[in-house]
Amino acid sequence: MRLSVGPLLYLWDRPGVFAFYRQLAQLPVDIVYLGEVVCSKRRVLRRADWIAIGRDLSAAGKEVVVSTLALMEAESELSSLAHTVAMADLIEANDMAAVQLLRDRPFVAGPHLNVYNTATLSLLSSLGMRRWVAPVELDTATLAALLGERPPGLEAEVFAYGRMPLAFSARCFSARVRRRHKDDCGFVCAEDVDGLTVHTREGEPLLALNGIQTQSAQVRNLIGRVDVLARAGVDVLRLSPHSSAAVRFEEVAGAFRSALDSHARSAPCPPTALPGGYCEEYVHTATVSGAGPAR
Amino acid sequence: MSEPNEQKRPQIELVCPAGSLPALRAAVDNGADAVYIGFRDGLNARNFPGLNFSAEDARLGIEYAHRRGTRVFVALNVYPRPQLWEGATRAVDEAARLEADAVILADVGLLQYADEYHPRLNRHLSVQASATNWRALEFYERQFGVRRAVLPRVLSLAQVRKVIEHTHLEIEVFGFGSLCIMVEGRCALSSHVTGESPNTHGVCSPAHAVRWEETGAGRRVRLNGVLIDEFTPGEAAGYPTLCKGRFEALGNVMHALEEPTSLNVLDILPQLVAAGVRAIKVEGRQRSPAYVAQVTRTLRAELDACLRDPERYRPQAAASAALQRLAEGRTHTLGAYSRPWQ
């Protein structure tokens, strides 16, 4: 199995972004996804900056993929997409608009395309899909069943580390909770370098707000399931970037690398400082006493 | 490309929900141009206990509607996983056999199946397909010959206009009912907490995961154990979807994502007409026949008034008041169309 680093989902400052990717060039990962997936208003990095980062990562031997926006509404977003598609070698499509523009070119189907069955996999393969990043809500048994009859040449990738992207909206929640309007957001999402944790009224960490995206508060960590995923036929594990306030990302990458290489038992992974901690299961389990399941 | 929309008629269809045969009759009798239904098979986005149509009810409903000139669309808008695939294709076959006027699909695999095996069955793109721009619509049009698309409830009026300018497809938009604040088809909040989502199971916040608790200080509602909201005595308590719960963020307890409120487009009906929208959709297959009757009757009268004289049209105060009484949370908004929160 290979290791990838997914697109940076948060708004970090310029020096922080450059430092992160400089460090990645030295880490034992194989594939790096670049570009903005969440909010088109975020322009801390220009296209030229991403191209420069991509060039350095390629020179360091990484496969570079450019990820596209998940929610595209504005004409400006469509023109920007056309530009990206024209310039990048390999694209992760996160909206059917990208698939339409990529027709008959190799592409990666991102986790935000809804792919849940063999017929969909076959059709997208016939249009050029070479790798498929499974939706986070897809269970391992279904994944294994789909990969058992996958189209020839198709690779599968799974979101294996990070706060899970769960939803997109036209509304900016980072602005809303600070009582700001989206048009005058002041880029307040930059204050939440790993998303803003939302707790239930019983103090249980439940969700994380990241601009127009809602994530899980818990950090998915599948390092203990590497063997299961390998048996299911998964080819690539994705690590989603987190800041040094949450975890030492280089140690996460190192732990996953050793888990992939040794196969026998999982290597130690550093703890996360984020309030939700780690989870393996996709479905959140209530942790507050007295709050048993409803069934 | 030639003028994409030159052939679009100014006519606008009123598309109403029916979760049962009585609701279908209520919609037809009160002036719906089209009714949309789902089969009782867990394959549509209102997979609720006791709701939806058996094959026989669907046959009776379609017959009833067709005799009165009303069209019937069948929603099959989940994303079938392998274990549901065979049932989903059978449901498409059934919709074709019953001579439904269209199937409403979201899944690429199912669209392909319908195109291949039932080319004469109209294919509408469900809101669950998350197609929020004309380029995405172009994909579904070219690939599967889709005729109409329902737009997610996240676009502004200006963006709806732009989409219509650039597409050949008929555009259907939501006009009244509960409001999803997330992009439809791109929301897994429900499955993260309950294991079931609109994409996988056709349901958001399934009833079996909901638990109400009476406490000394009022009522609490949990979803699979997770506290979604707490209401003081007398406070209106809505259905516990995650996006409309009250949580703590930055030290404040608040509706962190969305207030419980409904969508109502009466105030911008003339603009939607002018934009070239071809159909106005009412949400609510889970609602009662009485609700469907009242909403259909009210919107029928308003839409007719607007089409007669779009420039002078103003919503009747009584109509707005009637809709407001029916609205979730007893308040309504224009949602993303006006983007009051931007």
Tens of pLDDT, residue by residue over B270-328, are: 999 999 999 999 999 999 999 999 999 999 999 999 999 999 999 999 988 888 888 76
Asked if the model's pLDDT at residue B65 lies above 60, the reply is: yes
Q: Which of residues 85-104 of A touch B (CB under 8 A)?
A: 95-97, 99-101
- A293 lies in a domain? no
Distance CA A87, CA B106 (A): 30
Query: For residue B142, which amino acid is it?
Result: R
Domain count, chain B: 2
Q: Are B158 and B197 found together in one domain?
A: no
If you count DSSP H runs as helices and E runs as strands, how many of each does chain A have, helices first?
Answer: 9, 12
Residue in B183, B211, B226 nearest the CB of A169? B183
Classify A205 as helix, strand or coil. Answer: strand
Q: Is B256 on the interface with A (CB under 8 A)?
A: yes
pLDDT of residue B178: 86
Beta strands in chain A (DSSP E): 2-5, 31-34, 63-67, 91-93, 107-109, 129-133, 155-169, 196-199, 205-210, 213-221, 236-239, 278-279
Q: What is the DSSP string of B98-162?
A: TT-SEEEE--HHHHHHHHHH-TTS-EEE-GGG---SHHHHHHHHHHH---EEEPPTT--HHHHHH
Cα(B181)–Cα(A167) distance, rounded to whole angstroms? 10
CATH number at residue A148: 3.20.20.70
Supply the mean pLDDT for chain B: 91
Q: Judge whether A193 lies within some domain.
A: yes
Please report whether residue A290 resides in a domain. no
Q: Given an 8 Å threshold on Cβ–Cβ distance, is A171 in contact with B136?
A: no
Same domain, B213 and B76: no
Model confidence at B41, pLDDT cuts 50, 70, 90, reads confident
CB contact under 8 A, B189 and A207: yes
- In chain B, the N- to C-terminal Cα span, in Å, equals 34
Q: Answer yes or no: do B101 and B240 share one domain.
A: no
The confidence score (pLDDT) of residue B330 equals 58
For A206, the token pair is 């439940």
Tokens found for residue A193: 């370098």
Would you state the pLDDT for residue B336?
81
* B242 and B301 together in one domain: no
pLDDT band at B329 (very low <50, low <70, confident <90, very high): low
How many independent structural domains does chain A possess? 1
Distance from the A194 Cα atom to the nearest Cα atom in chain B, whole angstroms: 14
Residues B128 and B91 in one domain: yes
Neighbouring C-alpha atoms within 13 Å toward the C-beta of B269? 30
Which of B254, B279, B303 is the C-terminal boundary of a domain? B254
Interface of B with A in 186-225 (CB under 8 A): 186-189, 191-195, 197, 199-200, 208-211, 222-225
Note whether B18 and B117 are same-domain residues.
yes
- Structural domain boundaries enclosing A180: 2-279
Torsion, Cα of B20, B25, B26, B31 (10° steps): 130
> Which one, of B33, B31, B58, lies nearest residue B43 by Cα?
B58
Query: What is the pLDDT tens value at each position of chain A, 295 positions in all?
Result: 999 999 999 999 999 999 999 999 999 999 999 999 999 999 899 999 999 999 999 999 999 999 999 999 999 999 999 999 999 999 999 999 999 999 889 999 999 999 999 999 999 999 999 999 999 999 999 999 999 999 999 999 999 999 999 999 989 999 999 999 888 899 999 999 999 999 999 999 999 999 999 999 999 999 999 999 999 999 999 999 999 999 999 999 999 999 998 755 556 899 999 999 999 999 998 775 444 333 3
Domain membership of residue B271 (yes or no) is: yes
Measured in angstroms, the CA of A262 and the nearest CA of chain B are apart by 31
The answer on B215 and B173 residing in a single domain is no
pLDDT per position as a tens digit, B70-98 = 999 999 999 999 999 999 999 999 999 99
Confidence band, pLDDT 50/70/90 cuts, at residue B236: confident
Domain containing residue B238: 189-254
**Is residue A292 assigned to a domain?**
no
Asked whether residue B99 falls in the same domain as residue B224, the answer is: no
Name beta bridge partners: A2: A236
Question: Residues near A5 by Cβ (< 8 Å), separated by ≥ 6?
Answer: A24, A27, A29, A31, A32, A33, A238, A239, A240, A241, A253
For residue B10, what pLDDT band results from cuts at 50, 70 and 90? very low
The residue behind tokens 């049209």 is B313
A114 touches chain B (CB under 8 A): yes
In a domain, B43, yes or no: yes
Q: Which of B226, B246, B334 to substitute to test the interface with A, most A CBs within 10 Å?
A: B226
What's the rounded Cα separation, in Å, for the pair A294 and B259? 25
The answer to whether residues B117 and B243 belong to one domain is: no
Nearest to B131 by CA among B303, B85, B123: B123
Does A187 reside within a domain? Answer: yes
Pick the last residue of a domain from B254, B277, B299: B254
Distance between CA atoms of A269 and B157, rounded to whole angstroms?
48
Partners of B110 on chain A (C-beta within 8 Å) are 119
Contact predicate B144/B122, CB 8 Å: no
Q: What is the longest distance spanned by two Cα atoms in chain A?
A: 55
Min Cα distance B293 → chain A (Å) is 31
Specify if B1 maps to a domain: no
Is B199 part of any domain? Answer: yes
Do B164 and B278 fall within a single domain?
yes
Nearest chain A CA: its distance from B4 CA (Å): 17
Tell me the CATH number at B118.
Answer: 3.20.20.70
The length of chain B in residues reads 342
Residue A145 counted as domain residue: yes
Tell me the DSSP string of B46-88: ---TT-SB-HHHHHHHHHHHHHTT-EEEEEE-S---HHHHHHH
The complex's ipTM works out to 0.94
Determine the residue among A81, A206, A209, A282 to mutate to test chain B binding: the one whose Cβ has the most chain B Cβ atoms within 10 Å. Answer: A206
The stretch B127-147 carries a mean pLDDT of: 97
Residue type, A40: S
Domain co-membership, B141 together with B70: yes
Together in a domain, B100 and B220: no
Q: Do the domain assignments include residue B267?
A: yes
Q: What is the pTM of this model?
A: 0.94
